[in-house]
Amino acid sequence: MSPARPPAVRRLSTLCLALLALAAPAAAQADTRLEAVAALQAKAVEWRRDLHQHPELGNQETRTAQVVADHLRSLGLDAHTGIGPTGVIAVLKGARPGPRIALRADMDALPVTEATGLPFASTARATYRGQDVGVMHACGHDMHVAILMGVAEALAGMRDQLAGEVVFVFQPAEEGPPEPGEVFGARRMLDEGAFEPGRYLDGPPDAILGLHVWAGLHTGQLGFRAGPSLASADEWSLTVTGRQTHGSRPWDGVDPITVGAQILLATQSMIARQINIVNTPVVLTAGQFQSGVRFNIIPDDARLVGTLRTYDADVRQDVIDRFERIATGYAEAAGASAGLQVVNNAPATINDPELARRVLPSLQATVGADNVIEMPLQTIAEDFSQFANAVPGAYFFVGTTAAGEDPERMPINHSPHYAPDEAALEVGMRAMLRATLDLLDGAQAGR
Ligand SMILES: [Zn+2]
Ligand SMILES: [Zn+2]
């Protein structure tokens, strides 16, 4: 998940009342099968701290994958490893037939030097894109892995009572592959047959659930919304080619810097004037603008690199088409040329409306309806969307800011100071377990 200051969350709005009306438990409801989780909390803390001290960058999660596979095998599951390239998949078959529910956790850490000062802080280092960097679970994926290991143990203990199958998916490289332009973890696992019938699973999952720890919510709170939730993320690169000349005599050449600036400003006008942003917000940002070597030389070319965020595949393509026309038109008008390349890192994460209708009551039953916060749209992205585009998906947030602290002021995901409250492990395990059991039971309204 890419870095972003979480916007203020708000209480469930009237928008969500229709969903609430379907099944609205006033407070957390007991399910004796969830009692297993309390006994797993101490283990989950231990797993999480071990993972935290041994963070691994994307596609290098070999130790993490081994820890996961060893655990799954200790539960009697057949763990498949080396998928895309370090992913792990295992299937828990219940005693009776029923739906096939996939649960996903991402395993990778970030090139961040930890500054939490915790006794189990990471001191790991690695080479990232040619630089020596600190490595830290600054996005909390160590929490995700520990939560799913715990859920697997709880479910394995009640295998005889289950109708259906649970598929555990531990994926690499959610934050991206080691080199730009390579395929992200979820896409690569799918490309390598993760959901292909007969490969690891008998058939594609009926649904997939994912979660993310989140400093913007208190421990004990869950965040969720139906429909579009997280943005798509594209990395774009624009090259403007002009003709080099003396900075005092611009008429002798073609200035690519001015043309690049015009194109960038025109994209902002395009979004404001040409795109219907009421239903589908769009963000187009340049993060790099590189050109030239000296104050009095107009260089040959300029390069702009940035990101595009949308919530709709058609809008995304429309913006890219307009961006290309703007780039070509402005360049041509100035006697320059321009080339735009766009690489999609993740599609928009869209919570399947029907699945969301079934998962929301499970989340409410876990923590109480008042503690399920309707999340605003997030302009961050998640490659969980690749799985959720393959089968119906639902993705929720697990608060990690302890009571008494202000979620708005706490170090957020990707910060070197991000230190999630470990009590959130138990909340995450309960929510994931409850949602899974309810989907298997078909006990929810509307099934
Ligand atoms: Zn992240
Ligand atoms: Zn993340």
Smallest-distance ligand from the CA of 110: 1
Q: Spot the catalytic one: 61, 142, 174, 382.
A: 174
For residue 298, the CA-to-ligand 2 centroid distance in Å is 42
Structure tokens at 333: 């008008």
Q: Is the pLDDT of residue 272 over 50?
A: yes
Place of tokens 């107009």: 298
Q: Spot the catalytic one: 56, 61, 106, 108.
A: 108
The band of 52, judged by pLDDT with boundaries at 50, 70 and 90, is very high
Q: Is the pLDDT of residue 231 over 70?
A: yes
Q: Is the pLDDT of residue 82 over 60?
A: yes
Residue 174 a catalytic site member: yes
For residue 24, the CA-to-ligand 2 centroid distance in Å is 30
For residue 108, the CA-to-ligand 1 centroid distance in Å is 9
What pLDDT is stored for residue 3 in this prediction? 44
- What class, spelled out in words, does domain 232-346 have in CATH? alpha beta
Query: pLDDT of 155-177, one tens digit each?
Result: 999 999 999 999 999 999 999 98
Q: Kindly state the average pLDDT of the residues 109-135.
A: 97
What torsion do the CA atoms of 221, 401, 353, 141 make, to the nearest 10 degrees? -130
Task: Show me where the domains of the chain are located.
Answer: 14-230+349-441, 232-346
- Asked, as a colleague might, if the bond just before 205 is cis with ω within 30 of 0, I would say no
For residue 134, the CA-to-ligand 1 centroid distance in Å is 16
For residue 3, the CA-to-ligand 1 centroid distance in Å is 6
Q: Which of 130, 149, 133, 145 is nearest to 61 (CA)?
A: 145
CATH architecture of the domain 14-230+349-441 equals 3-Layer(aba) Sandwich (3.40)
